[in-house]
Amino acid sequence: MKAALVLILFAGSAYAQDPAAVAASEAACGSKAVAFTVKQDVTQHPTPQPEPGTALIYVVEDLGKCPNCDGGSNAFSTNVNQALTKVGMDGAWAGANQGSSYFFFAVSPGEHHLCINWQSRLETRSRAFAMASFTAEEGKVYYFRERVFPGAHDYSFDLDSINNDEGKYLVASSVYSVSHPKK
């Protein structure tokens, strides 16, 4: 009897997922078929201001000091120090970061939806993503911090809007990331 109850509970939770809602949420990302190449450029450190009629978005991949990210006691969480994360907005990929790095892009004023997704051949990693929404105002600069959290058997991501002071500090202490879609 207990086994039947457990089976019913697990079956019920499988049906409780709403594929349409998940698809709508993932609409902030770009096509899953798009992959990027990324290089860190230590020769330049651009920090532009927004052009008239736009806002500027900085996205910083902040890996910080992560216990077990070097493979220490948890072999499953190795190599997050070189995580390549794609950044999408409003259904199109804007670029990518790899390692502790940053990049930026201009946006029009209005409501926007950001998405980060780990680009990996491993299914466990490639399904890790996070999202955020914000309303951009002309002439403003917005900073977002993305972080990887390795768990015992999986990974999770965090995408936070951060204040300008912390954003400027993270950009100043990170390497500039140059990304291009693979052809």
Distances (CA, A) of 109 to 37, 51, 116, 137, 176: 29, 12, 21, 5, 25
Q: Which residue has the higher pLDDT, 137 or 80?
A: 137
Q: How many CB atoms lie within 10 A of CB 104?
A: 21
Q: H/E element holding 123?
A: helix 123-126
Provide CB contacts within 8 A for 10, sequence distance 6+: none
pLDDT tens sequence across 51-102: 999 999 999 999 865 555 544 444 444 566 778 999 999 999 999 999 899 9
Instruction: Kindly report whether the global pTM for this prediction surpasses the value 0.75.
Output: yes
pLDDT reading at 13 higher than 50: no
pLDDT value of position 79: 60
Q: Which residue has the higher pLDDT, 13 or 24?
A: 24
Q: What are phi and psi of 150, to 5 degrees?
A: -75, 135
Q: What are phi and psi of 94, to 5 degrees?
A: -100, -25
Structure token pair of residue 64: 């910080």
- Kindly state the average pLDDT of the residues 31-43: 94
The hierarchical CATH code for the domain 26-181 is 2.60.40.10
Q: Where are the beta strands (DSSP E) in 42-154?
A: 55-61, 84-89, 92-98, 101-107, 110-118, 129-136, 141-150
pLDDT tens sequence across 96-121: 999 899 999 999 999 999 999 989 88
State what percent of residues in the chain have pLDDT above 70. Answer: 75
Q: H/E element holding 170?
A: helix 164-172
Structure token pair of residue 150: 């390795």
Q: The tokens 């202490």 sit on which residue?
A: 173
pLDDT reading at 15 higher than 50: no
From 43-52, 101-110, 121-130, 149-158, the region with the lowest mean pLDDT: 149-158
What does the alpha-carbon distance between residue 39 and residue 46 come to, in Å, rounded to a whole number? 15
- Kindly state the average pLDDT of the residues 138-161: 86
